[in-house]
């Protein structure tokens, strides 16, 4: 049976994920411009300044083709970032969760784990067997976040991508499988519950 990954509004106590549309464009542009230093460091391409409009056009084209499902990450009725299903392979029941960016002020809050929970839960409920993540091998923060999430590190693909700056990066692959999701989800929900008990940001 093929995976039937669908667009949907995904929501929990911390975050709301809406299929990316024109109404999110200005807030997302502002969010992407809020951290000028991050783009040359670890991102394959920049979404800031003059790079935003070409990205927007491409992501809408990919959404229409079905190869991407992009989501606006909404907190307090404002788009604070983006996260996407990419590399969608319905027959193989596999996809990648990536192209994630958040405004600096929501990083380190409950937003990212809550968004990950919503996206992973939806993917597995739609029939996914595997959700993978790719991260720059030099990005120790993102690597640590994926380990904390409960994803399994699979290895490093050497010189796997050329970044927009011209640097050739090594890429580390992580994944979560369907049979691993219940344990990963339980751990993730416990983190969110602890965050709420400690008065963490919603």
Structural domain range at position 27:
10-197
Residue 127 resides in a domain:
yes
Strands 94-102 vs 152-162: parallel, antiparallel or unpaired: unpaired
Residue 1 belongs to a domain: no
CATH number of the domain encompassing residue 126? 3.40.630.30
Per-residue confidence of the chain (202 residues) as pLDDT tens digits? 789 999 999 999 999 999 999 999 999 999 999 999 999 988 999 999 999 999 999 999 999 998 999 999 999 999 999 999 999 999 999 999 999 999 999 998 999 999 999 999 999 999 999 999 999 999 998 999 999 999 999 999 999 999 999 999 999 999 999 999 999 999 999 999 987 766 654 4
In a domain, 41, yes or no: yes
Q: What residues does 136 pair with on adjacent strands?
A: 171
Predicted TM-score (pTM) above 0.85? yes
What's the domain count of the chain?
1
């Amino acid at each position: 049976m093929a995976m039937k990954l669908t667009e949907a509004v995904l929501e929990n106590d911390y975050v709301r994920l809406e299929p990316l549309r024109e109404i999110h464009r200005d807030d997302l542009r502002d969010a992407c411009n809020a951290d000028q230093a991050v783009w040359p460091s670890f991102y394959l391409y920049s979404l800031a300044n003059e790079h935003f409009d070409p990205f927007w056009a491409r992501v809408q084209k990919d959404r229409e083709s079905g190869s991407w499902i992009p989501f606006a990450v909404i907190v307090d009725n404002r788009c604070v970032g983006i996260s996407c299903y990419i590399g969608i392979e319905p027959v193989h029941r596999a996809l990648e969760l990536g192209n994630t960016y958040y405004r600096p002020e929501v990083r380190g809050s409950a937003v990212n784990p809550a968004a990950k929970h919503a996206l992973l839960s939806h993917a597995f409920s739609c029939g996914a067997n595997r959700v993978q993540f790719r991260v720059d091998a030099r990005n120790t923060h993102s690597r640590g976040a994926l380990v904390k999430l409960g994803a399994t590190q699979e290895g490093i693909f050497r010189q796997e991508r050329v970044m927009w700056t011209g640097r050739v990066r090594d890429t580390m692959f992580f994944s979560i499988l369907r049979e691993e999701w219940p344990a990963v989800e339980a751990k993730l929900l416990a983190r969110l519950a602890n965050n709420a008990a400690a008065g963490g940001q919603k």
